[in-house]
Structures are given as C-alpha cells and as structure tokens.
Structure 1
Amino acid sequence: MLPSSVKAQYKGVADNENRRRFSGSAWALVMAVMALVAMVHAGLWMAARETMTAPAAINKFSSLSFAPYGKKSNPEDGGVTDEAQIRSDMKVVAPYTKAIRTYSSTGGLELVPAIAAEYDIKVSVGAWVDKRDERNERELREVVELARKHRNINAVVVGNETIFRADQTVDELIKKIQRVKRETNLPVTTGEIWNVWLEHPELVSAVDFIAVHILPYWEGQPETSVVDRTIQIYSKLRAAYPGKRIVIAEFGWPSGGYNLHGANPGPLIQAQVIRDFVARADAYGIDYNIVEAFDQPWKTNEGSVGAYWGLFDGNRHLKFPLSGEITDARFGINLAIALILGALFSLPVLRMARPTVGHVAVRIAAANGAGAWFAVVFDHWVTHYFVSGALVSMTVGFVLMIPLIIVAIARIDELGAIVFGRAPRRLLAKPAQEPTREPARAPKVSIHIPAYREQPEMLKATLDAVSRLEYPNFECIVIINNTPDPAYWQPIEEHCRLLGERFKFLNEPKVQGFKAGALRIALTHTDPEAEIIGVIDADYVVHPDWLKDLVPAFEDPRVGIVQAPQDHRDGSRSVLHEMMNAEYAGFFDIGMVQRNEHDAIVVHGTMVLIRRTALAAGGDWSSDTICEDTDLGLSLLEQGWSTHYTSRRYGWGMLPDTYEAFRKQRHRWAYGGVQIVKKHWRKMWQPESTRLTGDQRREFAVGWFNWLGAESIGVLMAIFNILWVPVVAFAGIAVPERILTLPIIATFVVYLVHFAWLYRQRVGIGVLRSIGAAIAAMGMQFTVAKAVADGVVKDNLPFTVTAKGGGKAAKKGSDFPAFWEAVLAGLLLLGAFVLYMRNFHQVREINIFIVVLMVQSLPFLSAAGMAALERSQLNDLALWRSLGRRIQLVLARRAADVVPPKVAAD
C-alpha cells in the first residue's frame, strides 16, 4: 500500500494524458481562437495589400513592340514564328493599340504587316542588324520588299541598339540606313538609347526621325521619378536637335525581377508607370512605343527582368487594368490559399490536451504563417518564368525549406506550450515528507555500473555514493569489460570487497556488443529477487534519495521506466566545460519535460530505473544500435509500458574531457539515433505492431526531425549555397528569391528566441551561460549532419567511449578538431564578401543572400571557436574571474572618485 502523500504525488501521473479527448468547452475554445487568428491573418493580408492610382489609359496605345512567339519559342536561338501565332497575338493586341513595332523581317515576322493590315494596325517594320553580314543582307532585302509591298507600314527601323551593342560602327550603320532610304519612300531611322543620339549628331543627320529608347529602369531610376526623367531626356533631345521629329521608340517598365539600385520592378509599379507615362505623353503630344506587348520568357540576356516587360503575360492576359484602381489581381486567390492552408495546418490543435488560449493562439498563428508562406511561394511559381538555373535554385530551395518550416513550427509550438501553456502534470517531484509515514514497500533494486578503462578513483567515488543510498534493499553490480590492464580493475575489485556484500565485482575481458553486452552479462548475475534494474555510468555520483524518491513510481504496474536527468559536477573546469554543461541542461529541463507530458521521453543509459519484467519483455539490452538505452525505451513504449521523468537532479557525472570527446559523444548519439529510426520507423506507424499513441509517434517523429533532420538540412543548404555563390556573383543569374532566403533568417530568429526564452524560463541560467549553451548547441550541427550521413551509408560503426575523468584519452590531438567546420565557415564568409563586392547594382535579393550566408556560417564558426577556445588561455575560468574582480575594483574606485568632497568629508 502506498502512503497517502505518495498517492497524491502520483495521482494522475500514470494516466495516459495524451489519450484524453476534448471536452465541448475546450473544442469551442480552440475553434474560437482559430477563427480569431484567421481574422487577424486576413486582416494582415488586407493591411499589406498594395493599392495604387494612376491616370486612365482611355485611348489606344500609340504603338507596342510586337514579338509573336510562344512561351517555349526562343528567337535568339533561331526560333521562328508562324501565321497562326501571329494572327492569334494580333487579335490580342488589336483592341489596345494603333500600331506595332517589329525588330526583324525574317523568321516568320515578314508575315506581320499583312496580318496587321487586316486589323487596320500600322507597322514600324524593323531590320535586325548585328555582326553577321549574311544575316544583315537578308534582313535589309526583306525589309525593303515589305516596305514596297504593304501600305500599312509607316516607318522602317534599321537596327536596334546596334551602336550601343557595338555590332556596327556609326559609319557602317549610316550606310545601311542610306541604302534603305534610297530603295523605299518611307521614313527610315534606327533605334538607339538616348545618349547615343546625343553623342552622334551625324547619326541624327542620317535618319528621318530620332527613334530614342528611354528605359529609366536600366539607369536605376526610382519608379516615382521615371516619367519625369523620361520627359526630361525627351526635352534634352529636342533642345539638341530642334526641328527634328523625335519618337520615344521604347519606353517600359518590368513587372518582375530584381531591383536595380533604386528601380523596383513589380506588377503594380509597372501599371502605375505605364499609365502615368501614357497620360503625360498624350498630353504633350509625344509619339511613343511601349516595350513590350508580351512577356518574353526566353529573354535571359537582360538578367532577371528580361522576361517581364510585357503588358500581357506569357498566356496573353493583360497584366493590369487600364483605368481605375491598380491592385493585385491575384490577391483574392492568394488570400484564400493562405487561409485554407492555415486552417488545415491548424487542425492538429484539436488533439491538444489541456489547451490554453495563449498556447492555442501561438500554435495556430505559426500554422497560418506557414500557410501564408506557401501561398506566396505558389503565387511566385505561377507568375514567374524559370530558366534552368532559376528552376534548379527554386526547386532545391523550396524542397529544403519545407523541413525548416516544420522545425520552426515545432519550436514555436514548444515555446507556446511552455510560456503560455499549463504547468507540467506528469513530472515527478520529490515526495513530501510526512511526520507519520506508513511503511512503503521497498522492492529490491539491482544497480548496474558498466565500466571500460575508467579511471579507478572516479569509479570509486561512484561506488561510494551508491553505498550512501538511503534505501534498504539494493545491490550493486560493477562489470569491468574489455579492460585487460590490472591497474584499471584491481583497485575496483578491492574497493567492492571493502564496501561489503551488496557490491558485486565482475571482470569480463571479452565482451561482445559494447555497453549493451556488458549490461546483459550483469543481468545474469542479478539477484533473482530484484524487481528493478538501475543503470548509472561509471562517473556518476548519485544522491542518497535517488531510489527512495523514485522507486515508489513503480507501484503502478504499467510503469516500465523512471528516468532522472543527467547532470555534471565538473562544469567549473573551464569555459568550454561550462558551455557544455549549460547546453546539456537545456535538453533535460526543456525537451524531456515536454516529451514527458506525452509519455514519450528519450531514455538515456544513466540515472535510469527499469522494471525487470519490462526489460525482459522489451528484448533485453540490444546491441544492434549503439544507443541501446534509447532503443530499449522506445521498444517498451511500443509495447504499451509507461515511463516517467523527473527534472530533479539525483546524479552528477563528468563532462567530456575535451572538445573532441564532446564531438565524438554527440556523433555517437546522432548515429545511434539514425540506427533507431531505421529500426523502428515502420513499426511505429503499423497499428498492429505498436501500442504507441498518436502523441507519442508525433513526439518521436518531430524530435528526430528537429534534431537529425534540421541539422543535416542546415549543412546541406550551406553547402548548396556555397556552390551557388559563383553562379550569382559571376553569372548574374538565378539569385535566390527572398521567399527562399528570408525564411532561413526567420527560422534562425525563431531558434534564438526559442533558445533564449526557454533557457531563461526553464533552465534558469544567466545570459552569458545561455549564450555559451547556444554556441555549444550550434557548434554540433556539422557533427550531427556527419553522423546522419554515416548512419545512412554505414551500418555498424563501433561504440566509442567518451573520454572523461582526465585519463589518457583526455589528451588533445595535434590536429585541429573543427577543421572542416572552419573551412565551411570560411567559404560562407568568403562567399558573402564576394557577393558584397560584386553586387554593383545593390540588388536586395543578393544582400539578403549575403545575410543568409553569414547566418549559415554561425554554427561552423561556433564549432571552430570552441575548438580554438580550448587551446587558448581564454578557456581558463580563473582568468575571467580575476578579470571580473579587477573590473569591479576599478568601477568601485571610479565611483569613489566622483563623490563630492563635502559629502566625503561628512
């Protein structure tokens, strides 16, 4: 019979909390919060909705550049058009323009004038001129023939920016213009940017009118001053060449792509600029041609904006209204997608136990944020054209971003649960002491301590602590395995003899199966009456109350495991050890506490108590993974056993001696984690094979994903971005879109907030120690990623013992242990520097990419920094304490110096 205080302590603890279902009031609460957050989400979309105004384009456009090619055609690679395409495109533009301009008279474009005549549309027919003499001759012959044949041709344009591209000299081009003038009776000109006309008056003299290209985007002109800038240039030309007819033969603005200094592309901006310009041009009587009629997806030679100059998109849909308010035509679709996805992603809250308004609101807000991101990505996907490089960048970036979004949501959920949720209910606390306490049953506990080449003095301290346990019924089995050197085991054998008959000493020189093999042997020597098996590592000093406080939980026959946290007693050895200790504490005070609420703790092989019958039912300690403890814990949960956890410290071990030992330990844990995933993932999702609840499956899946997946993907994304830097810096294409880079920064911010807030609330350490813990956690990213890669391709890596206690294995190697992390950090920072120096046009997406590279370098810098710290004097805590005392002394002296003399005298 349990004492009443113990009954009260464990009341409800053994119940499977995660099997509870919502009450009607809880369901109503969640639905109300879901509706409220959806309203706020919609409100934010409405607030962010851009609306612009501009004069209406009430008349037809004066002229449009006309390139009748389908989305998959590429005239720059020899692609041609045909009559059907021309006729279809002519039908699209006919209601909107009085004239069109072509740039070539071959490749099918010779059919344009005849078809345009059917729609009563004038044509400024062009002859393409470049460095190819044969092509030029063919173009000139064809344009002359067209000019003679079709009455709706009102001008001939010989060459397009030929001087600007340096394809012809001015004299060569003038000769071609003069030839066409001799052979036709139409006005003849050439199309050039405005400064070419100002620099070559001889070219002005050779043409019948000036066909000037004024494209302020390429000057980096802000959209607010584009039209003023255009009119200013037009006026400058009029002043330079009075009496000469001037036609603005190209004016336009891109609806997509990257900014160029202060010039910002965009669908709404394009609409405003075009409508404003047309109104001003009509008012001033300026003849003009808008470039382009249609988007040209094949045009990659003009960077990111080349494809987006059309008034119509690639599907021949008008991009913006010609009158009235200018808004995003896809706004409603995007809003609907965001809200629907936000609602779908929010559905898991309906399974929350003991929901609170704050926790539910945070979780649903995160889901709606993910929905908004997916909506924006979808909109970008359907409204943009992708060349091969951009398609690869977009696809890979999107695929890699999805896991990071899931991890961010999981961290936000955990943050909401701890900050705004209810206090933990399943967490075991120290039972209250009663003045008159009825006697409790004390089942026998067999404590097993496996040891491999452990320092004798350290292990003696562990045994001495066990001997002081305030529990009447236990034994302790020490098993020295694979340790032939008598200097390690003889002192322990003698010490066990001194401690008495409760302590059994085993020396097994040839144990197979690592630690699990040693524990299996210990089981064969266990007292048959022992009901509970306790396992501690050889470096752990346990509290006298360990068994007294935690064994009563096994009075519930469903309980198979009771786990206490790891902690360490040597954190003050150095700054590095302080950082390690703080990093470990976060897992045991945050993650384990939250997982315990769903009976889904990660069992670790020290400070653990296991029911003997459960151990047998779970298949004993298994050697097919190198994390036999976690493997066993999951196996018991799959069989329906319950587990319990306490965050109270009942034992203190030793930290890894060196940074390299810290890395090897984390590698072993992560590698073992991959082995466990490979072993259990199918069974976890087969109802006939497991008794895991949905919450337990979720906790393990999210836990694995958050740890193994996120770290691996982080390294993959960093390497991918390193490889992508030269493409961005030197090819000038496929700059990662902000929809793929901003979430990386946002995810990092979530990580920092999650870490800082929860460390402050749960771990209770200062700011400096929290920063050290964050650096230690980030510094393990590459190690975990490498362990995951090893786990995928290698099946049976050996168990590596962590060097502790200052033995021979504690010696630092001559090689820098974080060499590859330092290399990756250097490459990321070098890439950021190169992009900064090469970002001549101040493209914002490149600047964001630079920030991403710097953020991605932080985990690798953390690893390199820890490795360097270990080898420097700065690792000495005594140095920092001395420095702190000196600073305090200086501050005290300064404070005394500023006291007024009169006050001092008083």
Structure 2
Amino acid sequence: MNASTRRHVAASPAQTRGRRTAAPGWPKVTLHLPLRDEQPELVRRTLDSLAALDYPDVEVLVVDTHTADPLLWEPVAEHCARLGPQFRFFHLGPFPGFRAGALNFALRETSADTAVIGVLKAGQVVRASWLRRLVPLFRQPGLGLAQSPLDYRADEPSRFNQIAEAEHATHRSDFRGLLPLSALPLFRAEALRLAGGWDETSMCPEMALGLALLRHGWDAVSPPEPMGRTLARDEFPQWQARRQRQVAGGMAVLRKQARGLLLPRDRSLTAPQRHGLLHGALPALADLLAITGLTLSLGSSAVAVIAPEDTAFPLALMPMLLLFALLPALRVAGHGWLALAGSAALSWRSGRAAWQGLLGGHVSRNGGTRMEKLLLLGIALASLGVALANPWGGERTLWWLGLLAVQALPGVAALAVASTARRGTADHYAAPAFHRTMA
C-alpha cells in the first residue's frame, strides 16, 4: 500500500512467490486504475479480473484521490496488498487535475521498461485474454492506441440501464474509433509520454489525448470484439454529466483544430482522420441545432404574443424548426425505441454542451432535470400565450402549437427517464458488503 507519504507495505512470501515473471516476446504492461469515492466492492471485482489476466508481465497502479472516507479506500489498499506486489496502491488525498491528474501521477510512477499502458475505471471487469489478444497489435511500429469495446450491462439491468445501453450503442461508431472515449484503451507507452500525458485543463482529457496522438502521427485501431464489461450502475445525473463532458470536450477539440479539419492543405491530420472527427461530431451538431431551434421558437412565440399584428416571419421558419427538432430522432432511427428515449432525454443537455464546447464556456459536472423543467415551463407559457393571442388565425396557430409540442418531447423524455432511473434505484437491492479482514 502507498499512503500519502507513499510508503510501501512489504509483500508476504506467498505473494512474492505468486508474482508473474517476464516471458520472452511479451512486453511489460502497466494498467492504471484511478479512483475517487468508489465503492470497494466494485473496485475489488475490477482488481480480481486483473489478477486473473492470462499475461506474463503486468503491473497495476491504483491511484486514489480526494477520497476522505477510510472505509472506502482502506479496504482497496488491503486488497491490493493481498493480490501481490504487482498491485501498487497510492492514496493521495486532495490532488490537482481530477482524473487526468491521477493518471499523470500514475504515468510518472510507471516502470521505465513498460511498453504498453492501459487505463480502466472501477467496475470494469476484463476478460482474461484481453492483453494477449491486443498487445501483439503493438508490433506495428506506428500504432499508438488499441481499444476494445465494453459490454455496458449491469448484473441486473433495470429499464434505465437498458435505455442507457441502447443510447450508448448509437455512439459506438462516433469518431470511428479514433479517440479513447468509453472503451478499454491500451496505449504505447512511448506515444503517451511523447504526447505529454493527459491534459488536466481539458473538459474531456480522453479526446484531447486522442487528438494529440493523431497529430503526432500515431495510428489507432479498434477491434470489434468486447474484451470486458462494466458492472457500475449509472444514475441519471452521472449519465447526463458524462455525456455533457464528452460532447463539450469533442466540440472544444473541433474548435481548437478547425484549421486542420477544414483546410485540405493542412497536413497535420490525414483525410480519413479529418473525416472521422467530423463524423463523430454529427450527433452533437444535431442536438445543437435542436436546442437552437427551440430557442428560436420561444423567441418567435414571445414576438407573436407581444406584436401579433406583425408575425408572418415565424411561420416561414416552421419547416426548418421542425427539421431541427427531428434531427436527434432521425440520427437514432433503426436503433429501437429505447435508444430513441435515451437520445431524446440527453438531447437538450448535449445541445447546450455542444455550444459550450464551441464557445469555450464552463461545462457543469452535474446532471439533473432543472434545465429540462425550466425549458418545459417556458414552452408551456409560450403555448398558452400563443393560444390566447391567436396571431395567425386558428389553423396556422395550431400548427405553431404543434411545433412547440414536438420540441417539448426531449424534456418530457428526460423527466420520464429520470423517473425510471429513480424507481430502478429504489428497487435495486444493495450489493454484498466488502468486508475487511482482520490480521
């Protein structure tokens, strides 16, 4: 165990005897597991899956930051000590840089002879063959990143889990596997160090690092076979917050790299890389247009109520506004109604995050339904005002009210999915406790 003073706890003879030894032809792999206020049982299951890896030379660095409750981090430290000296635990307390800062600390603590570095999250359980299947890919000299997908399935999936998984499936082709988003990434250690590690100032450090690897000329591959699954149960606010950071970070990357994306003569990105990045931005752009259209509709409704004698212009906008409202649904067409519900529930948050990423604004790390409730209240007041003012006559006013009803659907979906998530949390029984052993 490593406490804040980073003192090592000696391994027992039994642990030392069980340590893997290097094998010819298999490069050393170091796995980084950053933690913050994680449930020990989820961490234990992740660590046990890493201990069962069928690979001859692997070490695991567990870095816990900002966790004040000893009942959360001490059982993890003790479990690392039981697993053997290849599992090194660090408890740093308050530490700058959030997750990126913890990963940069782990990078500095990584052995110099490490050739491949992997990054995991608490609650991810990997297949024993994960490293044996993917590490040989790094025999390609120019490969900097190899990542395999995860099955997003909880032990007992609730309706909310099913919605979240279905919505996640619609994003698996985003960025065409070029950036490490929600997968099991393995990095060439040389590439990670040359890129400067993780950007602690970025809204989405994974995207910032992924683009840095691309601009340094490293290739990336994404084998389609899942090499693990996640056991962590997302709650609705965390689900929203993660997508907000991903969208805002992706759009911030596009804003900063606009020259390389739009100018063919800029050779810092290849044509396939530019195409992949722009393709990955399409879902966020659809949500951006949807919330922009809603803003225009609310503004036009206010004008129609205040000056009903001069309101012909908003009617000309109706086809465009209706198209903007339907873009998020059209994007997930063919993925089923669960994906449609999830996409709609995230649409307004994603659209706002896309604007924040493009404009460089602050992105909240919290989720909830406050924004959705306020917008739904605005739509209700706008509908009531238009109905009473009747600025275009009966039939055309009804068309406008129908447009507002369509634009309100993402807010209704967000409230419905949030309610489903709360019911699922209330019905879910507690996971088995992770008991500490006494010497």
- Please indicate the TM-score interval, normalised by the length of the shorter structure: 0.7 to 0.9
Report the 3-state secondary structure (helix = DSSP H, G, I; strand = E; otherwise coil) of the residue aligned with 2:181: coil
Deviation readout 1:110-144 (Å, 9 max, x if unpaired):
xxxxxxxxxxxxxxxxxxxxxxxxxxxxxxxxxxx
Residue 820 of structure 1 aligns with which residue? 371
**Identity, % of aligned pairs?**
27
Mark the CA change 1:877 to 1:841 in structure 2 (over 3 Å): closer, same or farther: farther
Residues in 2 aligned to 1:717 and 1:619: alpha-carbon distance in whole angstroms? 40
Residues in 1 aligned to 2:340 and 2:24: alpha-carbon distance in whole angstroms? 44
Mark the CA change 1:792 to 1:641 in structure 2 (over 3 Å): closer, same or farther: closer
Letter in 2 for 1:727: V
Mark the CA change 1:871 to 1:453 in structure 2 (over 3 Å): closer, same or farther: closer
**Which of the residues 19, 37, 41 maps onto 1:457?**
41
Residue 855 of structure 1 aligns with which residue? 406
Residue 346 of structure 1 aligns with which residue? none
Residue 437 of structure 2 aligns with which residue? none
Matches within 5 A, 1:659-808: 659-682=236-259, 684=261, 691-704=268-281, 706-728=282-304, 731-736=308-313, 740-746=317-323, 751-757=328-334, 759=335, 770-791=336-357, 800=365
Matches within 5 A, 1:581-592: 581-588=165-172, 590-591=173-174
2:434 maps to 1:868:
no
2:27 maps to 1:476:
no
Deviation readout 1:718-757 (Å, 9 max, x if unpaired):
1221232243356143334666322443455565454232
Residues in 1 aligned to 2:398 and 2:313: alpha-carbon distance in whole angstroms? 11
Residues in 2 aligned to 1:519 and 1:873: alpha-carbon distance in whole angstroms? 33
Residue 146 of structure 2 aligns with which residue? 562
Residues in 1 aligned to 2:372 and 2:37: alpha-carbon distance in whole angstroms? 31
Deviation readout 1:665-723 (Å, 9 max, x if unpaired):
2222233334434443345557787531123223323433x244332332232122123
Residues in 2 aligned to 1:875 and 1:497: alpha-carbon distance in whole angstroms? 35
Residue 436 of structure 2 aligns with which residue? none
* 1:866, distance to aligned residue in structure 2 (A): 1.9
Matches within 5 A, 1:113-152: none
Report the 3-state secondary structure (helix = DSSP H, G, I; strand = E; otherwise coil) of the residue aligned with 2:257: helix
* 1:481, distance to aligned residue in structure 2 (A): 1.8
Letter in 2 for 1:828: I
Moved more, 639-648 or 734-743: 734-743
Deviation readout 1:475-512 (Å, 9 max, x if unpaired):
11111123243222221121112112221222222422
Mark the CA change 1:699 to 1:723 in structure 2 (over 3 Å): closer, same or farther: same
Report the 3-state secondary structure (helix = DSSP H, G, I; strand = E; otherwise coil) of the residue aligned with 2:179: coil
Report the 3-state secondary structure (helix = DSSP H, G, I; strand = E; otherwise coil) of the residue aligned with 2:292: helix
**Which of the residues 221, 224, 235 maps onto 1:644?**
221
Mark the CA change 1:544 to 1:573 in structure 2 (over 3 Å): closer, same or farther: same
Mark the CA change 1:614 to 1:840 in structure 2 (over 3 Å): closer, same or farther: closer
Matches within 5 A, 1:345-356: none
Deviation readout 1:263-294 (Å, 9 max, x if unpaired):
xxxxxxxxxxxxxxxxxxxxxxxxxxxxxxxx
Mark the CA change 1:466 to 1:866 in structure 2 (over 3 Å): closer, same or farther: same
Residues in 2 aligned to 1:569 and 1:519: alpha-carbon distance in whole angstroms? 26
Residue 10 of structure 2 aligns with which residue? none
> Any gaps of 5 or more consecutive residues in structure 2?
1-22, 430-439
**Which of the residues 473, 497, 507 maps onto 2:91?**
507
Mark the CA change 1:571 to 1:786 in structure 2 (over 3 Å): closer, same or farther: farther
Matches within 5 A, 1:39-50: none
Greater Rg over alpha carbons, structure: 1
Mark the CA change 1:569 to 1:701 in structure 2 (over 3 Å): closer, same or farther: closer
Higher relative contact order (CA 8 A, sep 6+): 2
Residue 73 of structure 1 aligns with which residue? none
CA contact (8 A) 1:832 1:851 kept: no
Letter in 1 for 2:174: G
Mark the CA change 1:732 to 1:843 in structure 2 (over 3 Å): closer, same or farther: farther
Mark the CA change 1:874 to 1:680 in structure 2 (over 3 Å): closer, same or farther: closer
Residue 142 of structure 1 aligns with which residue? none
Letter in 2 for 1:540: Q
2:121 maps to 1:537:
yes
CA contact (8 A) 2:148 2:223 kept: yes
Residues in 2 aligned to 1:797 and 1:737: alpha-carbon distance in whole angstroms? 31
How high is the TM-score relative to the length of structure 1?
0.41
Residue 69 of structure 2 aligns with which residue? 485
> Any gaps of 5 or more consecutive residues in structure 1?
1-438, 760-769, 803-816, 879-906
CA contact (8 A) 1:605 1:630 kept: no
* 1:847, distance to aligned residue in structure 2 (A): 4.2
Matches within 5 A, 1:394-413: none
Mark the CA change 1:686 to 1:736 in structure 2 (over 3 Å): closer, same or farther: closer
CA contact (8 A) 2:287 2:327 kept: no
Residues in 2 aligned to 1:649 and 1:674: alpha-carbon distance in whole angstroms? 27
Residue 9 of structure 2 aligns with which residue? none
Residues in 2 aligned to 1:642 and 1:531: alpha-carbon distance in whole angstroms? 16
Report the 3-state secondary structure (helix = DSSP H, G, I; strand = E; otherwise coil) of the residue aligned with 2:339: helix
Report the 3-state secondary structure (helix = DSSP H, G, I; strand = E; otherwise coil) of the residue aligned with 2:171: helix
2:103 maps to 1:552:
no
Report the 3-state secondary structure (helix = DSSP H, G, I; strand = E; otherwise coil) of the residue aligned with 1:722: helix
